[in-house]
Structure 1
Amino acid sequence: MSPEIVQMLEDALGMFAFLAVELTLLFLAISYLVGVLQEFITPEKIQSILSSRNGKGYVIAALLGAITPFCSCSTIPFLKGLLRARAGFGPMMVFLFSSPLLNPVIIGLFVITFGLQVAVMYFSVALVVSVTAGFVLEKLGFERYVREEAYQMPTASGCGASSAKATESACGASDTASACSSAPAATESRWVRIWKATWKDFKQVVPYLLLGICLGSFIYGFIPTDLIAKYAGEATWYAIPIAAVIGIPLYIRAEAVIPLSAALVKKGMALGSVMALIIGSAGASLTEVILLKAIFKNQMIAAFLVVILSMAIFAGMLFNLFI
């Protein structure tokens, strides 16, 4: 093989290893954290905070997305927790759109790389479009495209379950001589039970996760930045849509795509195309779309992609007009 192919293969394998470790740890950590929060915050409380019956739920969801340092994939376990808590559908969608795009790390990188004006404009566009899209999807009844199993709480088998029903089914109603008589204290079993539920949840999504990582890593390793700059770099009418579409399969966390975009700007890529690439890549990575298939039906996934692409194209055009 030529040295170029070898280098591309090394880049792809390195990205696969990095993403596999990072996303696995993030998914497990966030899922466990969500499980712990659900032990102390009742579903009724979450419903009242993130209710779609008043405008506050949408704003709170957007602010929650802005302060959570999640990438597009690690948003999924948090979203599943909100679904199981029966939070308002519209605010949940706002969180899904805003979380990977508005976290403090990304905004800080924008300020450092492109300046305060660009950062403020990016934040404003992502915030307004996220809230608007969540509200519209709620009103159009897209909640019916959420899979029923996404609302179900994973149950851990064994003696650590705390409910009377779980105890009876696993151990027997009153058999004190059974193995469950030596069960650990309630406080310890709570953490074990949360971990078992987290691990069960992870096993359900790991095939989707690995498939998305494989595809994203291949694209990362074998599609050079020069090719992106060639087809999305000129300030033409089609450059922004192409950059937005390219960004989705090109899975790169926003923390990485922003420095990459700075290099593309130096190569002559229009700033509007760069913004479309950043939003497409950070807002709807291929890995996230594959993971969402375990939660949403195809109609909802299509709507999700339309929102992200529309946001990316709209932001790109605004940047070309005003910056």
Structure 2
Amino acid sequence: MSLGSTIEREPQPGPSIKWTAGAIAALLLWGVIYSQLVPFSEWLVALVPVDRHSHLGEALNFFAYDTPKVLMLLTLVVFAMGVVRSFFSAEKTRALLAGRREGAGNVLAAGLGIFTPFCSCSAVPMFIGFVSAGVPLGVTFSFLISAPMVNEVALGLLFGLVGWKVALTYLAFGLFVAIAAGWVIGRLHLESWLEEWVRNIRASTAELPQESLTAVDRIKAGIEAVHDIVGKVWPWIIAGIAAGAFIHGYVPSDLLASIMGRGAWWSVPAAVLIGIPMYSNAAGIIPVVQALLAKGAALGTVLAFMMSVIALSLPEMIILRKVLSLKLIAVFVCVVAAGILAVGFLFNALFR
């Protein structure tokens, strides 16, 4: 008997433990990097010989911060949805939220948006994850509308500026727009207007043998989802954020205030049209909203402008173009804009 045969070998970690440990380490590293994005963006912009508070400095800082932030959010969410998709087939997901339960799904998705204070471009990764996981299209739109538009930042702003009654009214009508617009889009059954690669991902989820997958298989499914989705979308995200950075740094508030005065019936649709090409989150639009109200702009007009900026931004449309056809984007914009117009006119009538 050889000496080697008498020595008990220590058990080696299995592949499952190694992959799980690697995934946890990667998530921890993600958290560390994400927590340093603000100082990193400030440091990066400081290397450029530009005044930090100039139009160009604001635009550069915006781009330096939002680009890694949105890409990291997209990667994390798509990975998580890839793992979750390995547990639940598309059929089970649709059975839970579709049909007679679709209305409840819209309500739940809109309610979830209240607690996720993302700007529109940051909400897009969640939207893409929901769509690729087979969640009904209308439900995903309810989240996409609610997440940037109805959150604690926006509600806190309104509470501080105009009181709790207006804040609660905004909450109610913001949720109404998100739920109703998502429900209408869902009732139109426009899934065929998704881009082909997204439809293929949705279809492929039904073919996964969920019960036979190991932990390693599920982690690999998440990595594969990141490769397939992030690999296709990232150029559009960078282009969208670049457009948003330019608008964020250079659009003047005085010009906006000059056409949002009280009494003009066309001020609400004009505010919506002006807001659509812009880009900001609820926190970023606070100085503009305060300036507009201080200069005498009507409350409903300002709120319609705010809602259109954070729910129908041009950069958001650019990013969504990789996922949605132009026809579906047009339907989304029209349905949501109609709801925002209704809110704007109502506020102007109730709060003079």
Which residue in 2 is equivalent to 1:122? 170
Listed one character per residue, the Cα deviations across residues 155-197 of structure 1 (whole Å, up to 9, x for unaligned) are xxxxxxxx89xxxxxxxxxxxxxxxxxxxxx645643552353
TM-score of the aligned structures, taking structure 1 as reference length: 0.80
Which residue in 1 is equivalent to 2:68? 21
Which residue in 1 is equivalent to 2:157? 109
Rg: which structure is higher? 2
TM-superposed CA distance for 1:265, in Å, is: 0.8
Conserved? CA contact 1:86–1:151, under 8 Å:
no
- Which contiguous aligned blocks of 4+ residues in structure 1 show a shift greater than 4 angstroms? none
1:36 aligns with 2:83: yes
Conserved? CA contact 2:185–2:332, under 8 Å:
no
Q: How many angstroms apart in 1 are the aligned matches of 2:151 and 2:269?
A: 24
Which residue in 1 is equivalent to 2:122? 74
Conserved? CA contact 2:149–2:174, under 8 Å:
yes
Q: How many angstroms apart in 2 are the aligned matches of 1:106 and 1:35?
A: 31
Which residue in 1 is equivalent to 2:107? 59
TM-score of the aligned structures, taking structure 2 as reference length: 0.74
Alpha-carbon distance change, 322 to 60 in structure 1, aligned in 2, over 3 angstroms: same
Give 1:88's match in structure 2, choosing from 136, 141, 144. Answer: 136
**Residue range with higher mean Cα deviation, 298-307 or 228-237:** 228-237
Alpha-carbon distance change, 37 to 67 in structure 1, aligned in 2, over 3 angstroms: farther
Which residue in 2 is equivalent to 1:227? 255
1:140-289 matched pairs, under 5 angstroms: 140-153=188-201, 187=215, 190-191=218-219, 193-289=221-317
TM-superposed CA distance for 1:202, in Å, is: 1.6
TM-superposed CA distance for 1:303, in Å, is: 1.0
Alpha-carbon distance change, 195 to 306 in structure 1, aligned in 2, over 3 angstroms: same
Which residue in 2 is equivalent to 1:160? none
Conserved? CA contact 2:117–2:151, under 8 Å:
yes
Q: Which runs of 5+ in 2 are unaligned?
A: 1-49, 203-207
Q: Name the SS of the counterpart of 2:100 in structure 1.
A: coil
Listed one character per residue, the Cα deviations across residues 39-61 of structure 1 (whole Å, up to 9, x for unaligned) are 44443442233213333233223
Q: Which runs of 5+ in 1 are unaligned?
A: 155-162, 165-185
1:47 aligns with 2:94: yes
Q: How many angstroms apart in 1 are the aligned matches of 2:292 and 2:201?
A: 44
TM-superposed CA distance for 1:288, in Å, is: 1.1
Listed one character per residue, the Cα deviations across residues 19-50 of structure 1 (whole Å, up to 9, x for unaligned) are 21322222222222323332444434422332
Q: Name the SS of the counterpart of 2:259 in structure 1.
A: helix
TM-superposed CA distance for 1:247, in Å, is: 1.4
Q: How many angstroms apart in 2 are the aligned matches of 1:267 and 1:13?
A: 29
**Residue range with higher mean Cα deviation, 216-225 or 132-141:** 132-141
Conserved? CA contact 2:86–2:221, under 8 Å:
no
Listed one character per residue, the Cα deviations across residues 273-313 of structure 1 (whole Å, up to 9, x for unaligned) are 21011100110111110111111111110111112322222
In structure 2, what residue type is equivalent to 1:291?
A: I
TM-superposed CA distance for 1:73, in Å, is: 1.7
Alpha-carbon distance change, 105 to 199 in structure 1, aligned in 2, over 3 angstroms: farther
Alpha-carbon distance change, 37 to 193 in structure 1, aligned in 2, over 3 angstroms: closer
Q: Name the SS of the counterpart of 2:120 in structure 1.
A: coil
Q: How many angstroms apart in 2 are the aligned matches of 1:20 and 1:235?
A: 40
Q: How many angstroms apart in 2 are the aligned matches of 1:225 and 1:74?
A: 24
Conserved? CA contact 1:61–1:95, under 8 Å:
yes
Conserved? CA contact 2:181–2:336, under 8 Å:
no
Q: How many angstroms apart in 2 are the aligned matches of 1:243 and 1:98?
A: 20
Which residue in 2 is equivalent to 1:136? 184
Q: How many angstroms apart in 2 are the aligned matches of 1:235 and 1:293?
A: 37
Fraction of identical pairs, as percent: 34
Q: Name the SS of the counterpart of 2:258 in structure 1.
A: helix
**Residue range with higher mean Cα deviation, 35-44 or 72-81:** 35-44
**RMSD, aligned α-carbons:** 2.8
TM-superposed CA distance for 1:230, in Å, is: 1.5
**Residue range with higher mean Cα deviation, 43-52 or 303-312:** 43-52
Q: How many angstroms apart in 2 are the aligned matches of 1:62 and 1:98?
A: 5
**Residue range with higher mean Cα deviation, 220-229 or 36-45:** 36-45
Q: Name the SS of the counterpart of 1:99 in structure 2.
A: helix
